[in-house]
Amino acid sequence: MTRQIVLDTETTGLNPGSGDRIIEIAGVELFNRRLTGRHFHTYLNPGRASHPDALKVHGLTEEFLADKPRFEQIAADMLGFVRDAEIIIHNAPFDCAFLDAELDRLNLAAFKQLVPMVTDTLVMAKMQFPGKFNNLDALCKRFGIDNAHRTLHGALLDAELLAEVYLSLTRGQESLVIDLEAPQQHKAVAATRPLDTFTLPLTCPSEADRIAHDAFLQLLDKKSKGQSIWRPQPAPSPDEQLQKSVQ
């Protein structure tokens, strides 16, 4: 049984070291790769204004946040919700740095020391799609996840979208997981399952394909001054083989 929490935060800026604070935090629960409907979500009063660029991203004004709780008021509930779960975050170092700063103000341990594991979906996405845009919007588009209602960043909405992205990133992996509670059952299934058989298709090149390929090889010969290794070489005659063996 696997319990996971997909977590996201919104902040007043980019640098917790200069005093930027968390203003929204949300987590949605996955259990055995299914959304359970349980979630944690709260806005926070950071006691400071958001950077203008950050405000354009999340739209959470000082006036809106003025009557919201402080982080210390929700810390116990938040930690209780994530405890004993794998935490899934997109660009985890960013969110963890802000969580660490907030927890440090309360003389608590760093976030990663309070949960079993933190998984970074940005790292996963970069491994699967190297050289491509891998922000949340790009991944939603790539996996066909509807995010048309995401006009501003919001922690709860982003956590819900990220949960779908994570399931898409890891689709198929569940078939590789062995159920340790019933190993004999898996052995029995494996023993009775017939081997898959299939025939690889064989496609012969057309005459036009051969002509185009030969033209390309001639170009390689020209560019490499006759040193191209891609053109098939004729097999040496018996006399040539004998001469090489004598040498």
Tell me, yes or no, if 58 is annotated catalytic: no
Name the DSSP letter for residue 50.
P
The string of DSSP codes covering 171-240 is: TTGGGG---TT-HHHHHHHHHHSPPP-------PPPHHHHHHHHHHHHHHHHHTTT--S-SPPPPPPHHH
Which among 39, 51, 153, 213 is annotated as catalytic? Answer: 153
User: What is the Cα–Cα distance from 214 to 26, expressed in whole angstroms?
Assistant: 60
Contacts of 194 (CB under 8 A, 6+ apart): none
Name the DSSP letter for residue 115.
S
Phi, psi of 201, deg, nearest 5: -70, 145
- H-helix segments, the chain: 52-58, 62-65, 71-82, 92-105, 121-128, 136-143, 155-169, 183-192, 207-223, 238-246
Catalytic residue list? 153
